[in-house]
Amino acid sequence: MILSQNELDLISAALVEDLAGGEDITSVSTIPAEAMATADFRARRDGVIAGSEVATEVLRKVGLSQITQVRKDGEKVNAGDVLLTVSGNTRAILLAERTALNFFCHLSGIATFTSHWVNQVSGTSCQVRDTRKTTPGMRVLEKYAVRMGGGTNHRMTLSDAALIKDNHIAAAGGVVAAFTKVRSHYPDSEIEIEVDTLDQLREVLPQKPDLILLDNMSPAQCREAVAIVKGVCKLEASGGITIDNARTYAESGVDYIAIGALTHSAPVFDIGLDLRAE
């Protein structure tokens, strides 16, 4: 992953936040300034990792350069596996430890959680897709982690594509009115529109949207929607989908299931930093 200036600034801000203008009083008190060490970032459980390049950049920011990425983002790892190794000034390693782990654990948690969803729908043509329900400032990183877990990304920003939702429809006066207004303003943009009922689906289908979002519909309703659309456009199911019923939705024939939980509710993946014994 090539980190943009936004991600580099985020890393810098995280390190500044941890020091708050002071110094690491514990390390300064207990470790000689010239002390050197080697440390391993090690998985504490099985999963899929993401964020190794971010962790590496955190280490670089504190002046460390002897860094080896042992495992690559997107790889399945087992508890006990070494993911990344760093050698250098001991104080610097411990200064970077928590910030590096905060990023690494969070992003690997998203990748691992996404992989569980992807496994649930394996063998179907349905793809697991994220949403814009991301941590402010971390959207690019979190959506990257989704990809590392085998998922796919919805739009990154509001300007990438149109997604006409219920509030837009209410404000515009109906699904056709809302769709027509967006199409007239942005004739070349991809347009997705949300429908709450099959009647709305039938109403907007002649307008030829690129994608229709089936909001809070049951798997049976999704199957009926697939039969109505007959491949004219893609269908995405959202709302009421859990990891336990994900396969049932996927088998309805929809092209995507949209899962906000991939980014807003993924459990943190447990990674630890272990200094090697001298």
Tens digits of residue pLDDT in 136-195: 999 999 999 999 999 999 999 999 999 999 999 999 999 999 999 999 999 999 999 999
Q: What is the CATH number of the domain that holds 102?
A: 3.90.1170.20
| pLDDT at 278 > cutoff 70 | no
215 carries an active-site annotation = yes
How many domains are contained in the chain? Answer: 2
Among candidate residues 53, 57, 142, 194, the one labeled active-site is 194
On whether both 249 and 213 belong to a single domain, the answer is: yes
pLDDT of residue 277: 73
CATH number of the domain that residue 188 is part of:
3.20.20.70
Strand partners, 76: 48
Q: Is 17 a catalytic site residue?
A: no
* Spatial distance between the Cα atoms of 253 and 241, rounded to a whole number of angstroms: 15
Residues 234 and 198 in one domain: yes
Q: Could you tell me if 95 and 153 lie in one domain?
A: no
Same domain, 220 and 162: yes
The residue annotated as part of the active site, out of 45, 72, 76, 165, is 165
Mean pLDDT of 106-125: 98
Detail the DSSP E strand segments found in 175-248: 191-195, 211-215, 234-238
Of 97, 215, 236, 255, which one is the catalytic site residue? 215
255 & 156 share domain: yes
- Do 107 and 183 share a structural domain? no
Residues 201-239: tens digit of each pLDDT: 999 999 999 999 999 999 999 999 999 999 999 999 999
Q: Is 208 labeled as catalytic in the residue annotation?
A: no
Rg (CA), the chain: 23
If asked whether residues 96 and 23 sit together in one domain, one would say yes
CA angle in degrees (0–180, nearest 5) for 147-218-110: 20
Residue 166 annotated in active site: no
Looking at residue 28, what is its pLDDT? Answer: 96
List the domain range (segments joined by +) for residue 197.
Answer: 119-264
Are 125 and 237 in a shared domain? yes
Q: What is the pLDDT of residues 41-86, one digit of tens each?
A: 999 999 999 999 999 999 999 999 999 999 999 999 999 999 999 9
Name the pTM for this structure.
0.96
Q: Do residue 154 and residue 202 come from a single domain?
A: yes
Q: 33 with 124, same domain?
A: no
Bridge partner list, 34: none
Residue 231 in tokens: 């491949």
CA–CA gap between residue 11 and residue 65 (Å, rounded)? 16
Grade residue 1 by pLDDT with cuts at 50, 70 and 90: confident
Same domain, 128 and 100: no
One domain, residues 129 and 254:
yes
Does the annotation count 133 as an active-site position? yes
